[in-house]
Structure 1
Amino acid sequence: MGVWVLVDINNKDKVKCILCDKQMCGGVYRLKQYIAQEGKNVKKCQGMKTTKEKLLEAQEKCKKALDEAKRKREEKTVRELELREEVHVSRVGGSEEVTCVGSLEPHKLGPVDKWTKAIDPTATKSESLTQQRLNKELWKERLHEVHKYIARWVFNHAISFNACDNDEFKQMCEAIGQFGPGIEPPTMFDLRGGLLEEEYARTKSLLQECEAEKMKNGCSIMTDAWSDKKRRSIMNVCTNCADGTSFISSKEMSDVSHTSEVIFELVDKAIEDIGPDDVVQVVTDNASNNMGAKKLLHVKRPHIFWTSCAAHTINLMLQGIGNMPRFKKMIDQAKAFTIFVYGHTRTLECMRYFTEGKEIVRPGVTRFASNYLTLDSIQEKKDQLRKMVVHSRWDSLKDVKSKKGKKCHNNYIESNLLEGCKVDIGSFCAIVQSSLFG
């Protein structure tokens, strides 16, 4: 929030409020409560070291942040309840008992056990009368056991961690829980057979709303070519409308040349499949073959626009600016510096030591965008890099003493690289902002 400073650089848990000089330990949420003067278990910041206006401004910011966090928690809770309600697994019989595995005599946990209270001899009379979940520790332990089985499957099969952060995964867990013990998982034949066909049919039904939106307000057709790991050339065709983007078709085109006529035929077929009256525009990049297809489409369907991809247009603009002598020299010097640093393990380790593990190479969507993102990263870490190139740890490296290392070092020191990066970044930001926001 801009009102906290570290008391000790080696202890990042202890901070001091610049509004009142009070030192505190705790999480970000607790610190915001202190500034906002909210919460029952947190003292209030009096702002004795600042003006009343700055204190009120800080309080307002923290209150907004707390309200936003509360709103997100409430939305998350509502969303999770909605997801659970969408899951319906038919039950056999009316019993809701769950058997705890692992004992000689299975212990039955029924609905009542969820609300029974564990015996606590230290609890007061008022606490003993409070209704709460019973066997809380037991349920917590059982949940942890379930999580371990899920984690084991994720780890052993290299499942991406963010695959668990979606609605389908939560619904799957809810469905398994509703089914109860003894569930038989689907086989690989089920997944690639009937279940796949059923999911395909369900997805098609979900797209009906999107089809209605296309008929009402029209849609855009987007096409682009790419190469897979086997170097096969594949052309994708998608549509976009107010309800989102949907896939139409994908065709391997390794055996044909991507001429204007071929692209025109592919786009024209997609227009026919969707309906000429429901298509507003076609979006592609600015390649010459696409521009040729644009002319052919204009002859046959003059009412449909052909729009150049904004991202590709910006990319070409960045390429053109990068080829200008003023910018090309700076980009080449920055590129040579990063190539040298990342080309040797010792220089890379030294750089990460001074930047505290942060990288200076920032890959972007395109090669030319990556150049400017890397320049921005170098400018952002200018103090650490300056300290690095004049430090004895850097000078002692064998690679730095080589001819290539000396040239790279001198270019960084003498060419005023950081100031040039600042100018280049300003041009990059101006182009992107004007393109996106007019």
Structure 2
Amino acid sequence: MSTSNNTTREHVHHVEDTDDLSSLDDKAPLWIYVNKMEKLAGGGSWRFECKFCKIKFSGSYSRVATHLLKDGTKGIRECLKLRPPRAVPLPSSSKKAFSSSLDYDTNYSAPNASESDPKKRKGTNTPLGKAFNNEAREQCDGEIARMFYTSGLSFNVARNPHYRNSYVRASNIPGYVPPGYNALRTGLLQKERKNIEMHLQPLKNSWIQKGVSICSDGWSDPHRRPIFNLIAANESGPMMLRAINSQGEVKTGEMIAKLIIECIKEVGHENVVQVVTDNAANCVKAGSLISAKYPTIFRTPCVVHTLNLALRNICSPLLTTRNNEDVYGACIWIKSLSEDVTWIKNFIMNHGMRLVKFTEHCDLKLLTIASTRFASTVVMFKRFKKIKTGLQQMVISPKWDDYKEDDVGKASAVKQKILDERFWDELEYVLSFTLPIYGVIRAADTDKPSLHLVYEWWESMIQNVKKAIFRRERKQLIMKNLSFGML
């Protein structure tokens, strides 16, 4: 009895599923191009008539699609009334370019200079043009250009040296046909990978003789996915080992240590001298775990990241940081200056007409710098210094005050700030004493070893900072004496 009930329920459930599929199939888009005549037993089958060729068929939606889309693999004749898509002629400088395969009349065309004046006639029909086969060249250029347009390729592809070299090689091979879809994604891809690995082998051999450092860094790709990069580097050059998508994973010290240890095993722990990471707590813990497993490998903090943290602490000091009261008191005005610069930049960028006035007076653009970029505040200050004259010309222009549509009060405040010489003096002062740190970051943010130069730069930085502080204190003393004399 129980078995009979289960069989009945399964049968009813199967019938319900069939009805659901049939109702969904009836709403498929190609049904509107046929006339349904009679519902047939067995799912979504119909007796239907094509609206174009008026021929009657029987079958499901797949046969309708085959008949209209001309697949020809489902045992049903394709529709002969549907015209195939017509190719658009390629552009040409000859008179054939005015002819068209479209249905509307194109007999009239505006005369061009070459047709109206025989003396100025130039094109592919001249003897010189025929000698150099200019018409074929023009058609080939049109095909290549259309490949870019129809595939959405970036025009920067044309700057790739392999782009031009491929066509030069193809022109010397009669009857050459470029590789297809499957060849590019299978055989040729594997061949290129083996070729790259062969050329990287001398670099790998240098690891045994000179040692190697494993460098790690976290970044984000254009789709905002967190990528964890692992690079092997020595004086012979860097080599990317892995780029791992860590989306959905918690970046703990154990997780980072596991990824780095896998690369150490790939390189050979006897060849690894050090592991270079940034100063985040999880990276410090990962370095400790790696040193515990391999006592001969030690962790080195990244020089660029360390100096960037120091520069960030100067430009954006936090009172909550331990033992940071003195730094906060001495550098809080730099944070206020950075906020003013960001406020001016955002006001111009967020108001269309103000941005138009800015482009009229400044050749350089306002930078939108990510907070993760090294020395982002200093980079913004340097750009403001370069466009100082343009900004001042912009705000003293009558057009700046005549425009009354967007935040007139803020526009007036921006004008006052840009014309304030104290604002520019403070900006110049910050650039003067942060220049040594910025120079170290620029020089060390490369693929070459630069740790041995840090000590020389450190001595130079201390001297420059002392000089900058002395000049500032002297200037303040002079201003104080002048104010006292005026009183």
TM-score class, shorter-chain normalisation, is 0.5 to 0.7
- Matched residue type, 1:389: V
- Matched residue type, 2:172: Q
- Quote the residue 1:92 is aligned against: none
Helix, strand or coil for the counterpart of 1:303?
A: coil
Q: Does 1:185 align with 2:191?
A: no
- Quote the residue 1:129 is aligned against: none
The answer to which of 265-274 and 407-416 deviates more is 407-416
Of 218, 226, 242, the match for 1:225: 218
Deviations 1:269-292 (A, max 9, x none): 210111012212222221111011
Q: Does 1:150 align with 2:144?
A: yes
TM-score using structure 2 length: 0.56
Of 390, 413, 430, the match for 1:407: 413
- Quote the residue 1:264 is aligned against: 257
Deviations 1:283-340 (A, max 9, x none): 2221111011112222222322322223322321221111231211111111111110
Distance across 2 between alignment mates of 1:385 and 1:229: 32
Q: Does 1:208 align with 2:208?
A: no
Distance across 2 between alignment mates of 1:138 and 1:377: 54
Q: Does 1:298 align with 2:291?
A: yes
Distance across 2 between alignment mates of 1:192 and 1:422: 54
Q: Does 1:345 align with 2:352?
A: yes
**1:367 Cα deviation from its structure 2 partner:** 4.3
**Contact 1:224/1:284 (<8 A) preserved:** yes
Helix, strand or coil for the counterpart of 2:390?
A: helix
1:5-404, aligned counterparts within 5 Å? 138-139=131-132, 141=134, 146-180=140-174, 182-228=175-221, 231-323=224-316, 324-356=331-363, 358-361=364-367, 363=369, 366-367=372-373, 369-399=375-405, 402-404=408-410
Q: 1:399 to 1:242 in 2, by over 3 A?
A: farther
Distance across 1 between alignment mates of 2:372 and 2:130: 52
Distance across 2 between alignment mates of 1:343 and 1:306: 45
Helix, strand or coil for the counterpart of 2:217?
A: strand
Helix, strand or coil for the counterpart of 2:238?
A: strand
Q: 1:365 to 1:278 in 2, by over 3 A?
A: farther
Of 419, 424, 435, the match for 1:418: 424
Helix, strand or coil for the counterpart of 2:419?
A: helix
Distance across 1 between alignment mates of 2:189 and 2:436: 47
**Contact 2:273/2:298 (<8 A) preserved:** yes
**1:235 Cα deviation from its structure 2 partner:** 2.1
**Contact 1:361/1:374 (<8 A) preserved:** yes
Deviations 1:165-187 (A, max 9, x none): 4443343223212213x322222
**1:155 Cα deviation from its structure 2 partner:** 4.3
**Contact 1:284/1:290 (<8 A) preserved:** yes
Distance across 2 between alignment mates of 1:365 and 1:199: 37
- Quote the residue 2:110 is aligned against: none
Distance across 1 between alignment mates of 2:405 and 2:418: 16
Gaps of 5+ in 1: 1-101, 103-134
- Matched residue type, 2:315: G
**Contact 2:253/2:286 (<8 A) preserved:** yes
Between structure 1 and structure 2, the one with the greater Rg is: 2
Calculate percent identity across the aligned residue pairs. Answer: 26
Distance across 2 between alignment mates of 1:137 and 1:221: 61
- Matched residue type, 2:428: K
**1:434 Cα deviation from its structure 2 partner:** 4.2
- Matched residue type, 2:280: A
Deviations 1:3-27 (A, max 9, x none): xxxxxxxxxxxxxxxxxxxxxxxxx
Note the aligned Cα RMSD (angstroms).
2.9
**Contact 1:286/1:309 (<8 A) preserved:** yes
Q: 1:293 to 1:246 in 2, by over 3 A?
A: same
Deviations 1:24-79 (A, max 9, x none): xxxxxxxxxxxxxxxxxxxxxxxxxxxxxxxxxxxxxxxxxxxxxxxxxxxxxxxx
Helix, strand or coil for the counterpart of 1:266?
A: helix
TM-score using structure 1 length: 0.62
Q: 1:226 to 1:384 in 2, by over 3 A?
A: closer
Distance across 1 between alignment mates of 2:371 and 2:414: 27
**Contact 2:273/2:297 (<8 A) preserved:** yes
- Matched residue type, 1:326: W
Helix, strand or coil for the counterpart of 2:230?
A: strand
Gaps of 5+ in 2: 1-93, 95-127, 317-330, 444-452, 458-487
Distance across 1 between alignment mates of 2:171 and 2:298: 52
Distance across 2 between alignment mates of 1:362 and 1:231: 17
Q: 1:230 to 1:335 in 2, by over 3 A?
A: closer
- Matched residue type, 2:212: C
**Contact 2:208/2:271 (<8 A) preserved:** yes
Distance across 1 between alignment mates of 2:371 and 2:147: 32
**1:232 Cα deviation from its structure 2 partner:** 3.9
Q: 1:138 to 1:223 in 2, by over 3 A?
A: farther
Q: 1:420 to 1:162 in 2, by over 3 A?
A: same
**1:430 Cα deviation from its structure 2 partner:** 1.8
**Contact 1:354/1:384 (<8 A) preserved:** yes
- Quote the residue 1:32 is aligned against: none
Helix, strand or coil for the counterpart of 2:178?
A: coil
Distance across 2 between alignment mates of 1:149 and 1:418: 55
Distance across 2 between alignment mates of 1:368 and 1:211: 30
Distance across 2 between alignment mates of 1:183 and 1:338: 55
Q: 1:140 to 1:426 in 2, by over 3 A?
A: farther
**Contact 2:276/2:299 (<8 A) preserved:** yes
